[in-house]
Structure 1
Amino acid sequence: MESANHSTCVINDKMVPFATFYIIIFLIGITTSLVALWAFITSKSAKKCINVYLINLLLSDFLLMMALPVKIANDLGNVSQSLMVFHCQVSGPLIYINLYASIIFLSFISVQRYLQITQSSKLLRLQEVSFAVLMSAVVWFLILFINVPNMAIPMNNITVKQGVTCSDLKTEMGKHWHALSVFLGMAIFFNASAAVLLSNGLVLKQLWGRRETDPEDQASARHAFRNIALVTLAYVICFVPYHAVRMPYTFTQVTELITDCDLKKSLFLAKESTLLLAILHLCFDPLLYFIICRAFRDRVTKAFLKRPSIPDDADTQIPE
């Protein structure tokens, strides 16, 4: 039955353009992430809570870069049976581990920036490095608990040919756990997005007030306002479209509610297109490090621009 369906309804026959974009993203991401790793390693500044989240975000990006070459090869087509299975069982889940780890750590970073600007003594515990390390460990445990079973559950032993997708290789148990992991991922996204939008919105509100009432802080407030707005916009562009189409596409994988071939193909292409946007965050994260982390900014500026960065009080008073 499945073989017949695949012979008449091939949904993944237009993946070469995606592979081309992934190659570009991978090259940019690996270059900028290695620069970020070098900057964090060589920085002698004292550790901060927010830097813990940034380093964990960088770690999740390296997991994504381990998975991208396999996805690129798979999207180019004509892969071996073993490589297809490896992509579906290992590199595919690694992409989703990165996706949701990144979303959570970005939400932590946004909340931390808000806590910095409020400077509330009641919330000092949340700004300690030890607390950030603990929360990072909890995040990794949660993300691995959701996604590792997708790696561990055995695949169906069927012949890989044109039109076969990862869903076709999954057993019934694998499909059900995959659907559950998608549902849990959606829950993570909605909660993290609420934290990002609320925290950044409150920060933008305070920055706008400072820009209007304190002429001495107008320049730094405008700069900080623009940076926070750009970070928020990048978050929305990268992650919102994917989650808008993720659940409808999942229904085509685990149920027979959607049988129209054209609709299946449209949902698949929509999922892949928005996944490309989500993976694009790999190129944006180093810009986030530069905007938020003064130690990173100083290190990169001195190394590549041959001049010291302009000192300001943004890291202690106004989030950039």
Structure 2
Amino acid sequence: MMTLPTNSTDDTLPQCVVNDQMEPFSVLYILVFLTSIAANLVALWVFIHSYNDKKSINVYLVNLLTADLLLTLALPFKVAKDLGVSPWGFMVFHCQVSAVVVYISMYVSIFFLTFVSIDCYMQISQSSRLFRIQEVGFARLMSVTVWLLVLLIMVPNMALPIQDVPERKFLSCSKLKQEVGLHWHGLAVFLCTILFLNASTAVLVSNGLVLKRLLASRNDPEQWRHARRATVNVTVVTAAYVVCFVPYHVVRTPYTLAQTEVITPDCQTKRHLFLAKESTLLLVVLHLCLDPVLYYYFSKAFRQRVREVFRSRRSRRDSNTIPSQ
């Protein structure tokens, strides 16, 4: 257990340092960043050249891509801060800005993954009573609402004033917050957890109903031949959602209670909570590498564009290998 002296009130008072062993996490974050930036830039290029604004699901996927790119761009700031190699001002910037961007992007992604699941159920159910939900105008309205809601909850974490603390190699962002900042942070975590629970209910119910309809076609060999692949896709998407987001929210509540000093565990417990939070946050970040697969399976225009690119490259390669007469 590592402790450092604090200069706040008494130089002999030990300070509990929980984030002094971040090297393994940073290596994994760098790998995720490199994979994500490549995959999402390709996805951005494909969407620019194939975007179909007449389908609501494409609106949701483009917003999901925007959130993923924001989260990807915030990762280098987190890595530099976690390794303790960045200047003090850079570390403070991460705590005030880029760390908040990580959470903004996370919850925006959760919402749009929820909308994608609901939209898929709407396509299968083909209920005329629910037709308006699939209108592009409604999708755009919901997209604006999601961004405004998440920003309303999260932006105060950027704007509220911070306190001066002595410079140190390993900075815990909560140490910068004044009392009002800690209270808002706790409230923001509580509100986002409630939103996550509602979104997760919608995802599990929608995907469960989709699977029920798909599995009902097993008695018809012709229908099942087409439905079997969709069944696998929906199952994998649901499992990935649960693995990426549920563990983090299980850990986040006790970790935040310790951060805001609602509970006061000993230093060893704080370190365990921090490591659990970082491990589950890494699972959250992994969805950056999985979302481009969603674009391929859920956007017909995206899928067609990717296939066209590969076909054109294959034809050029084949033409280059034909020997000249």
TM score, norm. by length of structure 2: 0.91
CA spacing shift, 1:191–1:208, aligned 2, 3 Å: same
Q: 1:43 aligns with which of 40, 50, 72?
A: 50
Contact kept? 1:6, 1:163, Cα under 8 Å: no
Q: What residue in structure 2 maps to residue 204 of structure 1?
A: 211
Q: What residue in structure 1 maps to residue 302 of structure 2?
A: 296
Q: What residue in structure 2 maps to residue 260 of structure 1?
A: 266
Contact kept? 1:245, 1:271, Cα under 8 Å: yes
Mapped partners of 2:235, 2:110: distance in 1? 17
> 1:160, CA displacement in angstroms?
2.5
Aligned amino acid, residue 34 of structure 1 = L
Percent identity between the aligned chains? 54
Q: Please state if 1:154 is matched with 2:161.
A: yes
Mapped partners of 1:256, 1:162: distance in 2? 26
> 1:304, CA displacement in angstroms?
2.7
| 1:89-126 Cα distance to aligned partner (Å, 9 max, x none) | 00000000011000011111101100110001111110
Contact kept? 2:132, 2:138, Cα under 8 Å: yes
Contact kept? 2:50, 2:305, Cα under 8 Å: yes
Q: What residue in structure 1 maps to residue 87 of structure 2?
A: 80
Q: 2:221 aligns with which of 195, 198, 215?
A: 215
| 1:203-252 Cα distance to aligned partner (Å, 9 max, x none) | 00100001x22221222111000000000011001000000000000011
CA spacing shift, 1:5–1:75, aligned 2, 3 Å: farther
User: Max radius of gyration: which structure?
Assistant: 2
Superposition map of 1:90-105 within 5 A: 90-105=97-112
> 1:45, CA displacement in angstroms?
4.2
| 1:178-205 Cα distance to aligned partner (Å, 9 max, x none) | 1111001101110000000000000001
Mapped partners of 2:81, 2:225: distance in 1? 49
C-alpha root-mean-square deviation of aligned residues, in Å?
1.8
Superposition map of 1:302-317 within 5 A: 302-306=308-312
Aligned amino acid, residue 164 of structure 2 = N
Q: What residue in structure 1 maps to residue 142 of structure 2?
A: 135
Unaligned stretches of 5+ in structure 2? 315-325
Contact kept? 1:19, 1:75, Cα under 8 Å: yes
> 1:79, CA displacement in angstroms?
2.2
Mapped partners of 2:30, 2:311: distance in 1? 28
Aligned amino acid, residue 209 of structure 1 = A
CA spacing shift, 1:239–1:7, aligned 2, 3 Å: same
Mapped partners of 2:190, 2:73: distance in 1? 25
CA spacing shift, 1:184–1:63, aligned 2, 3 Å: same
Aligned amino acid, residue 245 of structure 1 = V
Contact kept? 1:301, 1:307, Cα under 8 Å: no
Higher mean Cα deviation, 67-76 or 89-98?
A: 67-76
Mapped partners of 1:47, 1:109: distance in 2? 15
> 1:163, CA displacement in angstroms?
4.0
| 1:254-294 Cα distance to aligned partner (Å, 9 max, x none) | 11522311100000000000001001110010011111111
Mapped partners of 1:263, 1:294: distance in 2? 49
Aligned residues: 307
Give the secondary-structure state (helix, strand or coil) at the position aligned to 2:169. Answer: coil
> 1:295, CA displacement in angstroms?
0.8
Aligned amino acid, residue 217 of structure 1 = Q
Mapped partners of 1:71, 1:5: distance in 2? 30
Aligned amino acid, residue 90 of structure 2 = L
Give the secondary-structure state (helix, strand or coil) at the position aligned to 2:254. Answer: helix
Mapped partners of 1:300, 1:153: distance in 2? 45
CA spacing shift, 1:2–1:36, aligned 2, 3 Å: same
Q: What residue in structure 1 maps to residue 323 of structure 2?
A: none
Q: What residue in structure 1 maps to residue 20 of structure 2?
A: 13
The list of structure 1 runs, each at least 4 consecutive aligned residues, that deviate by more than 3 angstroms after superposition, is 1-8, 305-308
Aligned amino acid, residue 88 of structure 1 = C
Q: Please state if 1:229 is matched with 2:235.
A: yes
Higher mean Cα deviation, 114-123 or 154-163?
A: 154-163
Q: 1:64 aligns with which of 66, 71, 75?
A: 71
Mapped partners of 1:167, 1:5: distance in 2? 21
